[in-house]
Amino acid sequence: MKQIQHDFIGQFGLLRDVAQNTKFPHHNTIEANTPFLIAAYKDYLRNKGNPWHVQHYGPTEPLSTAMAALYSSKIKQVAYIREIRKSHSGRCCSMCGSLTSTQVDHFLPQSHYPEFSIFKPNLFPICVCNQSKLGKTVGPAPGERFLHPLYDRKISDRAIYVRIRDHGDTPTFEVMFKKPKRVRDSAAFDFHTKTLVSKEGIKQHVKRGFEKFCRRPSSVVTALRRKNPESKAELVRLLCDEIEEATREHRTKNNWESVFLHALLERRTLNWIWRALSRPGRAVNGPLVAL
């Protein structure tokens, strides 16, 4: 869950450029439908991509075919689509926060809304949660929809929490979703997290991170390589520094690395870590549990 600052500057003119590009075999179809596409774009912007409100006129088969071909083409006018995929590969998924983005998602699905196939405000980096999203636009109950990475404000505020228990034995991990106060649409938030954000995926990510931290603390907090913190307050500061760095890198508090690090700050987990770090005789950067 990540807010992305796309723009739509040049998107209207791009359609006219495509219409004049004779190397694109469907340029005549794009030219004939440019007024319709511009009207659809304006409607999308006016209604902020909300599938409950955006008009859907059902484009003709020739236009649907042309838009699918345009999305997959390598002409320079749509090079930004490849750039979205390339620049976000292996980074934070805009829809669930995992760090395995490899695809470009059509927020309003291309299969149902081909008119928005190349419309930049409708395109976002996504991971395999795209297989859960598929052709869905809304849920069965009133107001249920996916959160829009451009228009739903504050979705980068922390919403994913993990609680770790039984730290030194067989740790357990509980994932919770809490709607940030500044995210207004409860129905959309609940539908989005329930449908797209994998609790099992988050558990596995936090489990791997916690095991790595217990084996060698500096693998997670670099500053622990040469010295132990002198107080619990210093430990909190070091963890907060790592969280801030992960948030800055991925521009959301819901990236799964930040979720893991924040779980270490939870009161009972922090107390356990502090006791383990302060154990008499433990070597600097030594394991927190017996291996």
What proportion of the chain, given as a percentage, has pLDDT over 70? 100
pTM of the model: 0.93
Q: Is the dihedral of CA 96, 97, 102, 105 positive or negative?
A: positive
Residue 118 confidence (pLDDT): 97
CB environment 19-42: b (16+ within 10 A), e (fewer): bebeebebbebbeebeeebeebbe
Residue 58 confidence (pLDDT): 80
Q: Is the dihedral of CA 4, 251, 258, 232 positive or negative?
A: negative
Residues of the chain with pLDDT under 50: none
Strands 172-177 and 160-165: antiparallel
Q: Is-contact 136 109, C-beta < 8 A?
A: yes
Ramachandran area for residue 217 (φ above 0: left; ψ -120 to 50: alpha; else beta): alpha
Query: Measured between alpha carbons, how far is residue 53 from residues 21, 39, 99, 161 in Å?
Result: 33, 14, 31, 32
**How far is residue 65's CA from residue 112's CA, in Å, rounded to a whole number?**
12
Residue 164 confidence (pLDDT): 98
Give the amino acid at 236: V
Residue 291 confidence (pLDDT): 67
